[in-house]
Amino acid sequence: MTDLADIADIGADARRGGFSRHGYDRAELELREWFTAEARARGLDVECDRNGNLWAWWGPPGDGAVVTGSHLDSVPGGGAFDGPLGVVSALAAVDLLRGKGFRPGKPFAVVVFAEEEGGRFGVACLGSRLLAGAIAPDAALRLSDVDGVTLADAMRSAGLDPTRVGADAEALRRIGTFVELHVEQGRGLVDLGAPVGVARSILAHGRWRISVSGEGNHAGATLMVDRRDPMVAAAQVVLAARRSAAAVDGARATVGRLIPNPGGTNVIPSSVDLWLDARADDDTRTRAVVAEITALAEAAAAEEGCTVTVTEESYGDTVIFDPTLRDSLSEALGGVPALPTGAGHDAGILAAHVPTAMLFVRNPTGISHAPAEFAEPTDCAEGVTALARTLETLAR
Ligand SMILES: [Zn+2]
C-alpha cells in the first residue's frame, strides 16, 4: 500500500478522475523510473528488452526463469490497481521471501510490460505481443496516438531503438513460468467470499475500428432530407453492438470511443470513427457478434447515404491457462477458487508460449477501468502472501 501511495501522484488525471498513464508518456516514463529505483534498492538488476519491457533480475539472468509482474500503464481515467497492484505485489513478494532467507534456486525476475492497455497506441498488450511475435514490428511501429506520434517516435523519445522491436526468442526462452497478480475485474471473488483466486480463462476478444464517411455540411443550412450524416449511422452502430451482444450468451460488445471529424457543434461531420470492443467465450461467438454488427453498420450507413469500413485492429482467441499449474497453485494456496475473466492480460499473450498463471485479488465493487476500482489492504496483503508462496514453490 505504501508503494501504491508513492505513485499516487503520477499520472493522476484531474479532468477524468483516476489515472491516465500511457505507453512512453510522461507519467509512464516516470513510473518506469520509479520501478527501476525500487528494484535497484532491492539489489535487483534492471534491464530493458528490445520491446520496451523492463526486467528486474534477482540473481543472474538465465533461461527458464520464474517471472512475475504486470504493467504500470492505465486506460484513460483508470483505477489505481489495474497493473500497479501486480508490480508492487511482486516487489513485496520479493521482500517477503528475502525476509525469510529464501534464495531462488533458478533465475527469477520481476517484469513490467509496456503499453498493456493500448491506451495510447490502440493495441493492447503491445510489449508482450511484440516480444512473443504476435504483432508484426512494422505494423506496431506505424501505430500512432491521437496527436499523430507513432510508436517508433515515442520509443525514440524514450531513448529506445525502434529498429530493434519484434519477436524476441531470447527473452521468451528466459521465461520458464509467468505468474501475474491482478486486481479482479468483476465480482467473482466477492460472490465466492474469497480474497484470492486463480485464473481459469480469458474470453476471446478484439478491437475493431469502424469508420463511417458521409458529407460534411452546415448544421443550419442543410435540410434534413439533404443530409448524409455519418453520426446518425454511427449511433445505430452503437445500438447494434448492444443488441447483437445481448443475443449471444456471455458475449459483450462496447463502443467506448467515438471521434467525429471535424467535431463542431454546428457542423454535420464528414466522417465518424468509432471503436468496437467485442468479446465472447470462443472465437465462433465473437466473430458472429462482430459479423452481425458489421452487417448492421453497412445497412445503417447505406440508409443514410454513407459508406463504412470495418478494420480489425487486434484480436486474441480464448485463453485457457495451464490447467496443471492452475490446479497445483490453487491447491498450494489452500484450495482457492479458479475463475474466468473477461479482461485481457499480458499473461494471456504469454500463455501461448510458456506455462502461465494469474492470481486475482478480490475487488469489492467489481468495478475496473474506472476511478472506483478498489481492493482492501487486507486482501492485497493476502495477495502478496499467495504470490510469495507461489513463487517460492516455483523457484525452489
Ligand atoms: Zn491490467
The predicted-structure confidence for 75-126, as pLDDT tens digits, reads as follows 999 999 999 999 999 999 999 999 999 999 999 999 999 999 999 999 999 9
The structural domain count of the chain equals 2
Q: Do 108 and 249 fall into the same domain?
A: no
Nearest CA to 116 out of 101, 95, 98, 130 is that of: 130
Residue 117 CA to residue 143 CA, distance in Å, equals 14
Q: Do 323 and 242 fall into the same domain?
A: no
- Whose cell is 472465437? That residue is 283
Q: Do 268 and 307 fall into the same domain?
A: yes
Nearest CA to 53 out of 136, 130, 123, 118 is that of: 130
Q: Do 322 and 245 fall into the same domain?
A: no
In the chain, where does DSSP find H-type helix? 2-6, 26-41, 84-99, 126-132, 137-142, 151-157, 169-174, 188-192, 230-246, 283-303, 323-332, 346-350, 377-395
pLDDT for position 58: 98
Q: Do 242 and 342 fall into the same domain?
A: no
Q: Do 375 and 282 fall into the same domain?
A: no
The pocket of ion ligand 1, defined by CB under 5 A, consists of 82-83
Separation of CA 229 and ligand 1 centre (Å): 37
pLDDT band at 293 (very low <50, low <70, confident <90, very high): very high
Q: Are strands 175-183 and 65-71 parallel, antiparallel or unpaired?
A: parallel
Residue 386 CA to residue 67 CA, distance in Å, equals 15
Neighbours of 220 (CB within 10 A): 6
Task: Give the mean pLDDT of the chain.
Answer: 97
The whole domain housing 367 covers 2-203+318-395
Last residue of a domain, one of 287, 316, 345: 316
Q: Do 249 and 340 fall into the same domain?
A: no
Last residue of a domain, one of 316, 332, 363: 316
Q: Do 295 and 273 fall into the same domain?
A: yes
Task: Tell me the percentage of the chain whose pLDDT exceeds 70.
Answer: 100
The predicted-structure confidence for 28-52, as pLDDT tens digits, reads as follows 999 999 999 999 999 999 999 999 9
Q: Do 267 and 176 fall into the same domain?
A: no
Cell of 225: 432530407
The predicted-structure confidence for 325-364, as pLDDT tens digits, reads as follows 999 999 999 999 999 999 999 999 999 999 999 999 999 9
Nearest CA to 151 out of 165, 171, 170 is that of: 165
Separation of CA 124 and ligand 1 centre (Å): 10
- Residue 228 is part of a domain; what is its CATH number? 3.30.70.360
Cell of 18: 483516476
Last residue of a domain, one of 316, 343, 367: 316
E strand or H helix that includes residue 366: none
Separation of CA 182 and ligand 1 centre (Å): 7
Backbone angles phi, psi at 197, to 5 degrees: -145, 175
Average of per-residue pLDDT across 238-243: 98
Q: Which residues fall within 8 angstroms of residue 316, CB to CB, at 6 or more apart?
A: 125, 134, 202, 204, 205, 206, 344, 348, 349
The predicted-structure confidence for 151-175, as pLDDT tens digits, reads as follows 999 999 999 999 999 999 999 999 9
Q: Do 132 and 240 fall into the same domain?
A: no
Separation of CA 154 and ligand 1 centre (Å): 21
The predicted-structure confidence for 76-87, as pLDDT tens digits, reads as follows 999 999 999 999
Q: Do 119 and 214 fall into the same domain?
A: no
pLDDT for position 291: 98
Separation of CA 233 and ligand 1 centre (Å): 33
pLDDT for position 111: 98
Average of per-residue pLDDT across 40-66: 98
pTM here is 0.93
- Residue 330 is part of a domain; what is its CATH number? 3.40.630.10
Separation of CA 81 and ligand 1 centre (Å): 8
Separation of CA 345 and ligand 1 centre (Å): 6
Q: Do 262 and 346 fall into the same domain?
A: no
Separation of CA 234 and ligand 1 centre (Å): 29
Q: Is 374 helix (H, G, I), strand (E, B) or coil?
A: coil
Average of per-residue pLDDT across 320-327: 96
pLDDT for position 222: 98
